[in-house]
Chains A and B, each alone.
Chain A
């Protein structure tokens, strides 16, 4: 038994006219099985066929002369089929040959048949090759003209391979049947006494373990978790370093130390702040005065030291992995300043969008999936009025976009979310996703999935001045930043300040805070809840619109941009603490930094996964976000 790889040969273009052939190859077994394949120059269909001496081989070729040719004579074409040993040892075995005549005025392909019988061959893998040649056959013996010069053609081989069918084909169905039968077998087995005992003991052990873990003192649990984490890291480090060889340059160690110190500082500051806030909250409940924040410095410093150790070991490990694999990377830390700037600028856009998510969640406990598309349309509204129609400049575009997007948000709420307010959890979520699809598809309908920018050719709006202004670079703190990034950064901070004063001092703002606290009670004290919710949606949409306009200025607009930006902004809201405005704002910057700076430490193909990983990590370990209260854990 040997496997044959079937080949078919095509002629390569060489002259003004080309001779090409396609093969329909059929291998007839003694029992009349036919394997058919088409060779069309692509390597899609491949199969291996097992054949034996005595098997009949039938090939049908279609030959054609194409191209600009002024043939005055018929072209004789000769085809040979032979067995080729790709390993190169054995000589070719000719199988069959045939000739045909291509009339000078013919366009359709000519069929040519070749039949052969496989003779005795040594076992192995072979290929079947076809060669087309022309000339060497004068069709008209009485013709005194010289025979036409042969056209230059080559032989180009295309592999057509197939599948072997061997004994292993049986294990598939058997394994599958076993898999399907396993639950029944287990069920049958579970009725026995021994199995019941075993299961009981396993379940009790598991439940005991989880009980102890849940009821463990949080500090102790944290320490155990840290300890396990460090142990795992050390194990992985050992495993990674052994093959790669332990080698840390001074620069690498310095990098690790720097990162550890930075992480420790951040953790210390945050830790002291969080502890102080918890203490203040508790003192508000118990009535006792809160201890001064200095008293938390020691425990905060301890926690920070733990983090520093972890980060130090982790950084060393990361460097080793970066040297060993392509997935991990270790960038030049000093060169990261540029990415810090980028991260902050894009983070301000995320911050603006995250505010919308967090405000809606704070009041309605509902994630507005469609908020990302609101962002998209905010960008597009400005672009349409500025570039497509050329009616307004940047400020006008911002104004128009903000107004229209606010309207969009209000309409969404009124038409799709308000009727479902009392319904099951599922309905508003599905509706939000449906709205997201609707808005994205509408954008795709209008703009055809291509990217548009502010300097489009042939548009009545001359965006080049705008572009020139915004791409000017400014040197700042050792790196260059373009004006657009600075503009967005300061605008977002300004908007947050405005929002802060609005929420704190205005009537509507107070109504929003009250509704977020307790919707039903707010309703009983006379707050117009419906109107407040609409206002929330409108404000959130307007902020997202501003973010969208600047995002479009920076990166261009694509109909699908809302999807990913929305997820990142939502992650920012979670990181900051859903329901917490300032947390969401800060969260935006954190995500922007994590994405751009952290993305340098990882293979670029996985950068999108960073956000998802952060989201899952926060949802698992700190669902109340960085700035939410412990009581906000839901």
Chain B
């Protein structure tokens, strides 16, 4: 395969593109939660993968037919409950530590969660169902016993009746989109609301914030809790997507990738997470393609060394370069909202008109 073909593969190969969309949404969810805590509240924490793993665990236990066999919402709620419990028991006591210590304590939390999961289920748990908001695979919507006459008609129009794979994938993507967009909008509302500004004040100068009457610890806790809920949600969706629980995934490498995603876009910028997540998924896939192309070109690399690890080396170097050269990320702290974008556009048009029309 030529280099060009390898680079194009993420977009031309069907299943891979859907997979990339899923990855983008998961990184987006994790990114907005991290941005809320790190960018807005100034708490540097590395526990997000631990809560993500707990969300996946909750969904696995909640929806697996061997255990609770609930539907998707039950799994999500269970995951959120487990994550919240872990937050209160383990992380909240460490909240009053200074930044570095808190970071490493939460890092230890993530590693511990992974270690315990590996201890119990090193080979993973299989058989987690796909996203089933109605307690059955989405295709069952077409049955009038489930969806009613309307549901049946809608499902038939969507082509669910034939239960070909694209329809199933489409419904799963739809569910993913609904959750991701609502989480994005909700967290965005929080950030643009007075709560977001209060968080930023806590980040800048906690003492000044306290002197103005803000309950700093409570604000930090609220931000952490909101982020933990989103992380648990992301974990649940991920478990539904991969349909298993593989403890080796929820470790250091994934942690770094999410941190890269949020930093690339700029800490403190909600829309920046979109950019960061998209860039990350792109670079991730392209580097995999590049690595496999390099492995094909120079077989000695593939046989004697581990080519996939090269891409992590590149990621690490990229992040170091990013922090040294442009720690603000791509968008910096600029907040891009629709209203502001429109205003900027109108300003620009106005200025152009003024310059064009003036003497």
B309 touches A426 (CB 8 A): no
What is the distance, in angstroms, from A566's C-beta to the closest C-beta of chain B?
10
Q: Residues of B contacting A34 with CB < 8 Å? A: 139, 161-163
Most chain A CB neighbours (cut-off 10 Å) among B72, B267, B316 = B316
What is the distance, in angstroms, from A127's C-beta to the closest C-beta of chain B?
15
Q: Which residues of chain B in 192-206 are interfacial with respect to chain A, using CB atoms and an 8 Å cutoff?
A: none
- B interface, by DSSP: helix, strand, loop or mixed? helix
- Contact string, B243-256, partner A, CB cutoff 8 A, digits 1/0? 10000000011001
- Contact string, A159-177, partner B, CB cutoff 8 A, digits 1/0? 0011111101100110110
With beta carbons under 8 angstroms apart, the residue of B76, B135, B310, B319 that contacts A430 is B319
- Contact string, A542-571, partner B, CB cutoff 8 A, digits 1/0? 000000000000000000100110010011
A444 touches B309 (CB 8 A): yes
A165 touches B136 (CB 8 A): yes
- Segment with Cβ contacts to B, from A137-145, A189-197, A312-320, A609-617: A609-617
B44 touches A616 (CB 8 A): no
B299 located at the interface, meaning its Cβ lies under 8 Å from any Cβ of chain A in the complex: no
B108 touches A616 (CB 8 A): yes
B73 touches A173 (CB 8 A): yes
B146 touches A426 (CB 8 A): no
Q: Residues of A contacting B259 with CB < 8 Å? A: 430, 433
- Contact string, A592-624, partner B, CB cutoff 8 A, digits 1/0? 000000000000111011011001100110010
Q: Which residues of chain B in 284-302 are interfacial with respect to chain A, using CB atoms and an 8 Å cutoff?
A: none
A164 touches B136 (CB 8 A): yes
B150 located at the interface, meaning its Cβ lies under 8 Å from any Cβ of chain A in the complex: no
A419 to B322, CA, bound (A): 12
A615 touches B319 (CB 8 A): no
What is the distance, in angstroms, from A50's C-beta to the closest C-beta of chain B?
8
A366 to B98, CA, bound (A): 11
Q: Residues of B contacting A434 with CB < 8 Å? A: 256, 260, 315-320, 323
Q: Residues of B contacting A423 with CB < 8 Å? A: 327
**Closest residue of chain A to B122, judged by CB?**
A605
**Closest residue of chain B to A446, judged by CB?**
B305
A437 located at the interface, meaning its Cβ lies under 8 Å from any Cβ of chain B in the complex: yes
Q: Which residues of chain B in 216-238 are interfacial with respect to chain A, using CB atoms and an 8 Å cutoff?
A: none
B90 touches A169 (CB 8 A): no
- Contact string, B126-148, partner A, CB cutoff 8 A, digits 1/0? 11010011111101101111100
B163 touches A620 (CB 8 A): no
A172 to B120, CA, bound (A): 29
A47 located at the interface, meaning its Cβ lies under 8 Å from any Cβ of chain B in the complex: yes
B338 located at the interface, meaning its Cβ lies under 8 Å from any Cβ of chain A in the complex: no
**Closest residue of chain B to A570, judged by CB?**
B104
What is the distance, in angstroms, from A514's C-beta to the closest C-beta of chain B?
23
A367 to B103, CA, bound (A): 10
Interface size class of B (residues with CB under 8 A): 35 or more
B208 located at the interface, meaning its Cβ lies under 8 Å from any Cβ of chain A in the complex: no
What is the distance, in angstroms, from B95's C-beta to the closest C-beta of chain A?
10
A616 touches B161 (CB 8 A): no
A437 to B163, CA, bound (A): 43
- A interface, by DSSP: helix, strand, loop or mixed? helix
A441 touches B133 (CB 8 A): no
B93 located at the interface, meaning its Cβ lies under 8 Å from any Cβ of chain A in the complex: yes
- Contact string, B56-78, partner A, CB cutoff 8 A, digits 1/0? 00000000010001111110110
A611 to B42, CA, bound (A): 27
- Segment with Cβ contacts to A, from B5-13, B22-30, B110-118: B110-118
Q: Residues of A contacting B69 with CB < 8 Å? A: 163
What is the distance, in angstroms, from A450's C-beta to the closest C-beta of chain B?
9
A611 touches B108 (CB 8 A): yes
What is the distance, in angstroms, from B190's C-beta to the closest C-beta of chain A?
10
Q: Which residues of chain A in 134-158 are interfacial with respect to chain B, using CB atoms and an 8 Å cutoff?
A: none
B263 located at the interface, meaning its Cβ lies under 8 Å from any Cβ of chain A in the complex: yes
Q: Residues of A contacting B133 with CB < 8 Å? A: 169, 172-173
B111 touches A567 (CB 8 A): yes
Known A176-B77, A425-B99, A444-B306; judge A437-B316 contact (CB<8 A): yes
A430 touches B101 (CB 8 A): no
In the complex, the number of residue pairs spanning A and B with C-beta atoms less than 8 Å apart equals 227
Q: Residues of A contacting B44 with CB < 8 Å? A: 425-426, 429-430
What is the distance, in angstroms, from B46's C-beta to the closest C-beta of chain A?
8
Q: Residues of A contacting B317 with CB < 8 Å? A: 434, 438
B313 touches A445 (CB 8 A): yes
**Closest residue of chain A to B129, judged by CB?**
A163
B107 touches A567 (CB 8 A): yes
B158 located at the interface, meaning its Cβ lies under 8 Å from any Cβ of chain A in the complex: no
Q: Residues of B contacting A163 with CB < 8 Å? A: 65, 69, 129, 132, 135-137, 140
**Closest residue of chain A to B319, judged by CB?**
A434
A448 located at the interface, meaning its Cβ lies under 8 Å from any Cβ of chain B in the complex: yes
B341 located at the interface, meaning its Cβ lies under 8 Å from any Cβ of chain A in the complex: no
A424 touches B327 (CB 8 A): yes
Q: Residues of A contacting B187 with CB < 8 Å? A: none
A172 touches B70 (CB 8 A): yes
Q: Residues of B contacting A330 with CB < 8 Å? A: none
A33 located at the interface, meaning its Cβ lies under 8 Å from any Cβ of chain B in the complex: yes
What is the distance, in angstroms, from B19's C-beta to the closest C-beta of chain A?
18
A437 touches B253 (CB 8 A): yes
With beta carbons under 8 angstroms apart, the residue of B105, B260, B316 that contacts A441 is B316
- Contact string, A409-422, partner B, CB cutoff 8 A, digits 1/0? 00000011001100
Q: Which residues of chain A in 436-463 are interfacial with respect to chain B, using CB atoms and an 8 Å cutoff?
A: 436-442, 444-449
Known A165-B135, A623-B97; judge A420-B323 contact (CB<8 A): yes
**Closest residue of chain A to B117, judged by CB?**
A605
Q: Residues of A contacting B146 with CB < 8 Å? A: 165, 169
- Contact string, A21-36, partner B, CB cutoff 8 A, digits 1/0? 0000000010111111
Q: Residues of A contacting B356 with CB < 8 Å? A: none
Most chain B CB neighbours (cut-off 10 Å) among A31, A33, A612 = A33
B119 located at the interface, meaning its Cβ lies under 8 Å from any Cβ of chain A in the complex: yes
Most chain B CB neighbours (cut-off 10 Å) among A32, A175, A436, A571 = A32
With beta carbons under 8 angstroms apart, the residue of A44, A176, A433 that contacts B127 is A44
A277 located at the interface, meaning its Cβ lies under 8 Å from any Cβ of chain B in the complex: no
B342 located at the interface, meaning its Cβ lies under 8 Å from any Cβ of chain A in the complex: no
B306 touches A448 (CB 8 A): yes
Most chain A CB neighbours (cut-off 10 Å) among B109, B115, B263 = B115
A46 located at the interface, meaning its Cβ lies under 8 Å from any Cβ of chain B in the complex: yes
A33 touches B161 (CB 8 A): yes
A445 touches B309 (CB 8 A): yes
Q: Residues of A contacting B243 with CB < 8 Å? A: 44
A564 to B115, CA, bound (A): 10
Most chain B CB neighbours (cut-off 10 Å) among A175, A179, A438, A439 = A438
B323 touches A427 (CB 8 A): yes
A43 located at the interface, meaning its Cβ lies under 8 Å from any Cβ of chain B in the complex: yes
With beta carbons under 8 angstroms apart, the residue of B126, B139, B253, B320 that contacts A33 is B139
Most chain A CB neighbours (cut-off 10 Å) among B69, B145, B260 = B145
A367 touches B100 (CB 8 A): yes
A563 to B256, CA, bound (A): 13
Task: Sort A-B residue pairs by CB-CB distance and give the 8 closest, nearest first.
Answer: A438-B316, A605-B119, A172-B73, A441-B312, A434-B319, A169-B135, A165-B136, A445-B309
Query: 21 A-B contacts, Cβ less than 8 Å apart?
Result: A33-B139, A34-B139, A34-B161, A35-B140, A43-B127, A163-B69, A168-B71, A169-B135, A169-B136, A172-B73, A415-B324, A416-B324, A425-B99, A427-B327, A429-B100, A430-B323, A433-B259, A437-B312, A574-B101, A606-B119, A620-B93
New contact pairs (7) apart from A172-B73, A415-B320, CB-CB < 8 Å: A169-B71, A416-B320, A425-B100, A426-B38, A438-B317, A446-B305, A448-B305
